[in-house]
Structure 1
Amino acid sequence: MIARLGSGLAAASLALSLGAGLALSPPAATPATARQAIDLSDLAERVMDAVVNISTSSRVDTAPGQRPGQPPQGRRPGQPQQPGPGAPFDELFEEFFRRRGENPPGGPNGQQQQQPQRRQSSLGSGFVVDASGIVITNNHVIDNADEITVIFNDGTRLKAELVGRDRETDIAVLRVQPTRPLKAVNFADSDRIRIGEPVMAIGNPLGLGGTVTAGIVSAKNRDIQSGPFDNYIQTDAAINRGNSGGPLFNMAGDVIGINTAIFSQSGGNIGIAFAVPANTARPVVAQLREFGETRRGWLGVRIQEVTDEIAESLSLGGRRGALIAGVEPNGPAGPAGIKTGDVIVRFDGREVRNSRELPRIVSETAVGKAVPVTVVRAGKEEQLTVTLGRREGNIQQASTGDQPRGQPPRPQNPTVSALGLQLSGLTQELRQRFSLREDVRGVVVTQVDPNSRAAERSIEPGNVILEVQNEPVVSPADVTRRIEDLRREGRSSALFLVANAQGDRRFVALTLR
């Protein structure tokens, strides 16, 4: 389970384990251990004042007859809930909020008030990047907040205003008005970090205030399926709820990432945490500061991963690039000459190693910029130039929007078998049977051998074959002829462009044996 770190304080457990009768002397520190401890102490002292706690409050609706803290009716299993009156840690949190000069959730003295709305508080972390008062945190820390308070290491509390937010990278920029210049830290070049490199995290876990933990970079470029630009840094530094938005430092005291999520079944630290890389955050922060919003480049294509079979079918010489599965009719890619079936291997001078990298590279490129693009088409590289549009407002990237290719199928085509598929011409009866859109043209799959490679590739009855190896097909005979041609050429696999009932397209590589 991937859990966001900044959340309302719903429950906590503070346990002290005292070993009776045990008097163990700690081992003597080796010179290397002592030197590392001094380095971490110096580093923490140098950057601590730039790290802040974020306190937010918001009004949330309470259903009639529902006590504040109770989950609403119809809550889905697994949704977080806050404990109701009499929960085990009520006294702990009442005292916690009083010490901070705040009312505990539910009202003064912890009394649960019957009212349509209640005030909800949550805690997170952040850090200063500009001495004039610019603070970075996670968007989910301040999402839906009515009031945001930034608390500094010396106890100073300043109200913050929201400069801008980006939900896709989970970054928010805040501004406070200090009476004197603040301690600020810089972003590092996160592309230069190495797996195994030591790191230090500072944040506000469970509302305890400035807390320092250390670990290493466990992995880079992690995709945790949270958004289109996932390339997280993974670390084993102890990070818990409340650390969200806090910095992950290298040993030079620069920020290599923004702590954002943890992998945990319980919600607590198990040594797997994720941070947004500095190189992802830096351009987002710059745009939010300048415009109050992001302005990302947009290519207007639908892409898919290049598998080993697809790479062989397209003569790529190995898995690389991003395969174009569709082109938006009104997007920038079409006028630039980018076509369905192309594989983008280089964009604006940067190598595209896989399909995950292309959206990130495009989004980091300025709107309106004309950039060189290298595609592989029919086994050869071609150079194109595309002028990027703006991604915001063009949210239909997942649908291809391609104009249908080929002509309507000939009505009397016989049904044939090929590669574990039963194929038929697309008659009106079959269109109704499989609820196919009127603009879908090609050869319809009526049956699939469950033991075939096609079944393994999730081809299903009702799918429509549009192309075989970049050549449009309109009848079963076209498909079988194309397969035989490829076999004579010595090909071991063929690339099929397949559409579902809604017209969504994808490439599937099938072996010809």
Structure 2
Amino acid sequence: MNRVNLLFRNFIYFLSLSLLSVQMVQARELPNFTRLFEEASPAVVNISTLSTPKQSRAQIYGPGGEELPEIFRRYFGLPMPEAPSGKPRPMSLGSGFIISKDGYILTNNHVVEGAEKIIVRLHDRSEKVAELIGADKRSDLALLKIESEGNLPVVKMGDSDDVKPGQWVAAIGSPFNFEYSITKGIVSALDRSLPSDAYVPFIQSDVPINPGNSGGPLFNMKGEVIGINSQIFTRSGGFMGLSFAIPSDHVQWAVEQLKEKGYVTRGWLGVAIQEVDRDLAESFGLKKPMGALITQVVPGGPADNVKLHPGDIITRVDGREIMRSSALPMAIGVIEPGDKATLELIREGKRQTVSVEVGELPDEQGPHSERPLGPNMKKNRLGIQVEGLNDDNRNKLRLDEEIKGVVVTGEVTGVGRSIGLRQGDIITNLNNIRLESVKDFDKVVADLPEDRSVSMRVVRGGQSAFITFRLTD
């Protein structure tokens, strides 16, 4: 009996040793993010934006100076009278990271879009006001600049082409405004196309990303940035296991343009496409579903110029295989407008090669759309862009010939946003001066006084009203 007990105790002892050994091996195999966090986190920043409510100063007057009825207030989209506030209020919170010692910072466009003031909080908790150098809505990127003596900590940029599904990654940011939080996970998939961003080959991961993480870096285990956390898939508003990052290679391609001109231009083919499923592949004589099926060709566009037709299936661009239709916009988008691209396609069961001169992707909102304001684009004190009235926009807006002024184009920010201006509004008078051209508008805006009421007459939908506002320092 004692012998049995001894054998049993020995068995338990050796089993415990084995389990301990397995646990030690597993512990050694699990990644340790301590060093990554210590080295990389000083270059990660918290970003907040401010907007000073000016709505309480805005007044609308009708003919004879009487206050405009409520129905017209609602029509012009202006707030009802309220108690003056004047206190800055936060609009959004997000993350970013420093990419150069002289103060360039990357974040998401949606973190800073529409901001009057952008505040960057550094690792030492000091705060600096940032300038928006440029932004790209399509890829949700924004480039900021803060003043620096050239001694800022910076991240190391990695090569997103080397990323593989299954590898460990980590995110540092400010989820729910909890600064310098690190979360970890693995890469789930590559080259994901999302409906809102057809030109970005997203990195999908299961790294927990929540509100406030936007614009923060996604690191590999070497501490290199391989992406910018941009979007999550959620039904609850919080993390649900799917997060998407803009690849670092795409980011660096965009940053050069943002630095140079404040916006990003992309290549354009001028076609509408759809996915090739199994049935379509069979009907077109393909061995497997692949490529981008052209369903429509834009008249006068690059594809039309080389006689591409509906029914053509594009299978390669400059040697790069197009397995899914979503890969075509990405492949064409990174080609410089005016450069040649070699397309391999299948037409009526036969393979062909076509050389096409790539065009420039039109703006998202048509002829009056705004490119993000950058160093080479005009930015006035009212936060709006305008153009002169011509036959084209007169017809679109159904304006009578006697109406003179300028039309608001693009996104409205700053003072213009606070007093309710919109795209398509006609400004006919500013500071009691009639406007007939953009030159008139620019001169009046430059001479606008501060800290006193300024009047503006706006025509919208055939109705007109005067709006008053104040400019402050």
Q: TM-score range by the shorter chain?
A: 0.5 to 0.7
Letter in 2 for 1:51: V
Question: Which residue number corresponds to residue 329 of structure 1?
Answer: 299
Contact 2:276 2:292 in 1 (8 A): yes
Distance change (3 Å), C-alpha of 1:36 and 1:130: farther
Distance change (3 Å), C-alpha of 1:279 and 1:180: closer
Distance change (3 Å), C-alpha of 1:38 and 1:316: closer
Q: Does 2:233 correspond to 1:226?
A: no
Contact 1:62 1:116 in 2 (8 A): no
2:44 to 33, 37, 51: 51
Distance change (3 Å), C-alpha of 1:43 and 1:303: same
Displacement of 1:251 after TM fit? 0.4
Q: Does 2:304 correspond to 1:305?
A: no
Displacement of 1:252 after TM fit? 1.1
Query: Aligned runs of 1:59-98 on 2, under 5 Å?
Result: 59-60=52-53
Query: Aligned runs of 1:14-413 on 2, under 5 Å?
Result: 30-32=23-25, 35=28, 39-60=32-53, 114-115=83-84, 119-121=88-90, 122-393=92-363
SS in 2 for 1:229: strand
CA deviation digits over 1:6-25, x for unaligned, max 9? xxxxxxxxxxxxxxxxxxxx
Letter in 2 for 1:154: D
**Bigger mean CA offset, 215-224 vs 246-255:** 215-224
Q: Distance in 1 between matches of 2:243 and 2:104?
A: 25
Q: Distance in 2 between matches of 1:178 and 1:365?
A: 34
Contact 2:49 2:118 in 1 (8 A): yes
Displacement of 1:258 after TM fit? 0.9
Fraction of identical pairs, as percent: 40
Distance change (3 Å), C-alpha of 1:395 and 1:353: farther
Contact 2:207 2:243 in 1 (8 A): yes
Q: Distance in 1 between matches of 2:169 and 2:311?
A: 43
SS in 2 for 1:241: coil
Contact 2:231 2:245 in 1 (8 A): yes
Letter in 1 for 2:84: Q
Displacement of 1:225 after TM fit? 2.2
Q: TM-score, normalised by structure 2?
A: 0.64
Contact 1:55 1:149 in 2 (8 A): yes
Q: Distance in 2 between matches of 1:183 and 1:352?
A: 40
Letter in 1 for 2:173: G
Displacement of 1:199 after TM fit? 0.6
Q: Distance in 2 between matches of 1:39 and 1:192?
A: 21
Q: Which runs of 5+ in 1 are unaligned?
A: 1-26, 65-112, 397-513
CA deviation digits over 1:178-203, x for unaligned, max 9? 12322222332223222221111000
Q: Distance in 2 between matches of 1:36 and 1:247?
A: 24
Distance change (3 Å), C-alpha of 1:36 and 1:141: farther
Aligned residues: 325
Displacement of 1:268 after TM fit? 2.2
**Bigger mean CA offset, 269-278 vs 116-125:** 116-125
Q: Distance in 2 between matches of 1:239 and 1:362?
A: 30
SS in 1 for 2:157: coil
Contact 1:239 1:269 in 2 (8 A): yes
Displacement of 1:278 after TM fit? 1.9
Contact 2:200 2:250 in 1 (8 A): no
Displacement of 1:34 after TM fit? 5.2
Question: Which residue number corresponds to residue 78 of structure 1?
Answer: none
Distance change (3 Å), C-alpha of 1:319 and 1:167: same
Q: Distance in 1 between matches of 2:195 and 2:26?
A: 38
SS in 1 for 2:240: coil
Displacement of 1:36 after TM fit? 6.3
Letter in 2 for 1:54: I
SS in 1 for 2:102: coil
SS in 1 for 2:118: strand
Letter in 2 for 1:53: N
CA deviation digits over 1:359-385, x for unaligned, max 9? 011001111101111111111111111
Contact 2:93 2:177 in 1 (8 A): yes
**Bigger mean CA offset, 221-230 vs 190-199:** 221-230
Contact 2:132 2:145 in 1 (8 A): yes
Letter in 2 for 1:119: P
Distance change (3 Å), C-alpha of 1:161 and 1:378: same
Q: TM-score, normalised by structure 1?
A: 0.59
Distance change (3 Å), C-alpha of 1:43 and 1:330: same
